[in-house]
Structure 1
């Protein structure tokens, strides 16, 4: 069933920024354990490997939530659903901060996974309802740029704050971010009644859309390379380049800033040529990864290549989320859920394969893996991906399903 969003000169940009803070807070909470793994494990009397399962639990339930949230909440106001998911972030972070043992910690992380997968998967559909058609790429650039930036920032931020205030207070910090996001959503979002019809078979219907399944495969490959390279960037700088301490922090800061700068250009690239933006960044990323394999011992070219990695990846979340919205305009929530599931799945696969290669060939080998996944992502785009346009009616309506 189609519904339509009437264009308006007054877009709800405050709502877009509220969504951005909501997704960013969830992403920060997801990856915080990576920065406080050692003190958390020591305090709870468990191994670091066991403590690391807190991230795994979040990813698994984020996948399940992203695939089912549109159906399970099909009768409820979308604003109320987002507020509930934001509340789960606060509760889960509070549980993590007060946890006496691993099972209690994992329970809190499961709640976080439900919140993360559900909120993130609905973000695209909600954004489409908040801004006019021509502003959708900009809105998605803000939301998904914030999410990706927060995912990169979470581990070093957690490590830095953990040294100052302790790992438990780091999770209380995440809860505080959740409170701010909840209040902002409550104030800025209009009532968003559910529209259309969502069935259990909707996922299968979306997967049957031409080029959609290859698109998910390309997304998984692109983010697999991302998570593999990011996860083992620190040991690469330590073992290959010989950096340590504050020097590594400076490189990570440069990487984060370059990513932020890249998001500023992402919207224009998507509007100008979506297909090229889906293809070209993966090629450049692959070239940079190959360059790092050979230049890892030389400081200046290594840092420059890492900066380029940050900037060039920035258009990927924006371009793919825009492609998702254009390819399945009548089922944006379900399509968004599949997008999130692909990203979360790639996080686990990238870290797992990266770890296996790291143990065999060291940190430089991980960048070989990343280059391969990015090359194959570009090949899938070149051979199988089409870039349809929104179906406009009299240039006044955008057909969507929410």
Structure 2
């Protein structure tokens, strides 16, 4: 198997041709109804096909960047709307909860509706959410906007992740997947520092307005560039519970929830940590977040380069580095070199995490791409909401820096789980 980084993004592992894939088939999905005939992808990918893939990738960047925006703008939002830092973290929690419910719900509700239309609808919802957030005069209005963000994230990500095989020929699926999932990874590590810089330059409302503009541009691109994409088959409510009876899927979901909850429990409040414990101002914080983002892209590329290897090893290494980085950040105090090094390692480690987790899911559920995407997105969003919620409790009840210790423990547990599952799968 070969990984094909494109635009600096690590590839998601391809299933076809994989040696000894770990697939637990004790509980297969129900036999689907006869799918409607669809046109097969062409033998060679055209420029229009790659433009369609790029449009979906920018769409994933838009939805995930919008979700992460409050991380870099947490302090200005809390001051502007007169709420505490811990309460402002609910903007992350609520969006993630809504996304977790939306991923399977939108897939089931969409039925056989053309996937191009569904993606366009999700982008309209995102445009409305960002516009409402930019104009919000109180915290309750902002939370309404964040619920709409969650609906857009869950529906767009779950459907968009399964479309590479519909847009390009088999030989290019791995590269197309790399581009689409790269939008998620880049948003996770670059969207926050860019949003922070916009917020510092023009205010947090302008940052949300900028995302509304990007959402409108993506909507036009999707309608112009995507071909008709009739559903191959409708996802039924029983498909996802059937998938969760597979041991490999459950282990992967558990690892996902642990490491993502630990990461976002700490990362949601990284700006107050750097301000209070590190004694840093907006300029240095923006530079550190940008360095974190660059390191994250490097981690994404490195994880993609090792995509052919068992993903549990990549996940174990990345989660271990993440745990070590947040511990160093917790003890570095006002020692700026230690803080900078910890942020760079943290970004490097987290950049590899989504690639490794998606690789795990691809190996244990290669026969159910849309249902597998729903499990992945729902688990991801549940973990974000759990982490940011518990982190907010720790900030308000204990101390801001306590979230770093909260993040380290589940990340370390993920390393242990990945190694244990790897040994079991190897046998």
TM-score, length of structure 1 as denominator length: 0.85
Shift of residue 296, structure 1, vs aligned partner: 3.9
Match of 1:304 among 341, 354, 361: 341
- Counting only pairs closer than 5 Å after superposition, residues 165-244 of structure 1 correspond to structure 2 as 165-244=202-281
The 1:126–1:385 alpha-carbon spacing in structure 2 relative to 1, beyond 3 Å, is: farther
Match of 1:396 in 2: none
Deviates more, 1:284-293 or 1:313-322: 284-293
Q: Which sits farther off after the overlay, 236-245 or 311-320? A: 236-245
Pairing 1:118–2:155 present: yes
How far residue 205 of structure 1 moved from its aligned partner, in angstroms, is 0.8
Does structure 2 retain, via aligned residues, the 8 Å contact 1:324–1:332? no
- Cα pair distance change 1:310/1:320, threshold 3 Å: same
Q: Which residue of 1 aligns with 2:421?
A: 384
Q: Which residue of 1 aligns with 2:4?
A: none
- Structure 2 unaligned runs (5+)? 1-31
Task: Name the counterpart of 1:143.
Answer: 180
Quick check: which one's helix share is greater? 1
Secondary structure of the structure 2 residue equivalent to 1:125 = coil
TM-score, with normalisation over the residues of structure 2? 0.80
Q: CA distance change for structure 1 residues 364 and 93 in 2, over 3 Å: closer, same or farther?
A: closer
Provide the rounded CA distance (Å) in 2 between the counterparts of 1:212 and 1:51. 33
Q: Name the residue aligned to 1:353.
A: 390
CA distance in 2, matches of 1:179, 1:386: 47
Deviation at 1:115, TM superposition (A): 1.0
Query: Which residue is 1:10 aligned to?
Result: 45
Secondary structure at 1:192 match in 2: coil
Q: CA deviation at 1:63?
A: 1.1
Q: Is this contact kept in 1: 2:56–2:180, CA < 8 A?
A: yes
SS at match of 1:270: coil
Task: Give the corresponding residue for 1:66.
Answer: 103
Contact 1:20 1:146 (C-alpha < 8 Å) held by counterparts: yes
Pairing partner for 2:124 from 69, 72, 87: 87
C-alpha separation in 2, matches of 1:360 and 1:382: 34
Give secondary structure in 2 for the equivalent of 1:162.
helix
Q: Which moved more, 1:89-98 or 1:79-88?
A: 89-98
Shift in alpha-carbon separation, 1:132–1:381, aligned structure 2, 3 A: farther
SS class of match (2:162): helix
RMSD over aligned Cα, in angstroms? 3.0
Is 2:86–2:393's contact at 8 Å kept on the other side of the alignment? Answer: no
Distance in 2 (CA, whole Å) between partners of 1:176 and 1:260 is 24
Matching residue within 32, 35, 59 for 2:69: 32
Q: Which deviates the most, 228-237 or 178-187? A: 228-237
Provide the rounded CA distance (Å) in 2 between the counterparts of 1:228 and 1:49.
Answer: 11
Partner of 2:21: none
Per-residue CA deviations over 1:31-52 (Å, capped at 9, x if unaligned) read 3345455665666676766665
Cα displacement string for residues 264-288 of structure 1 (whole angstroms, at most 9, x for unaligned residues): 2222111244332232211222233
Unaligned runs of 5+ in 1: 389-402
Question: How many aligned positions are there?
Answer: 388
Q: Is the 8 A contact 1:140 1:322 kept in 2?
A: no
8 Å contact kept, 2:71–2:269: no
Larger displacement relative to structure 2 (203-212 or 293-302): 293-302
Q: Distance in 2 between matches of 1:306 and 1:43?
A: 27
Flag the 1:39–1:305 CA change in 2: closer, same or farther, 3 A.
closer
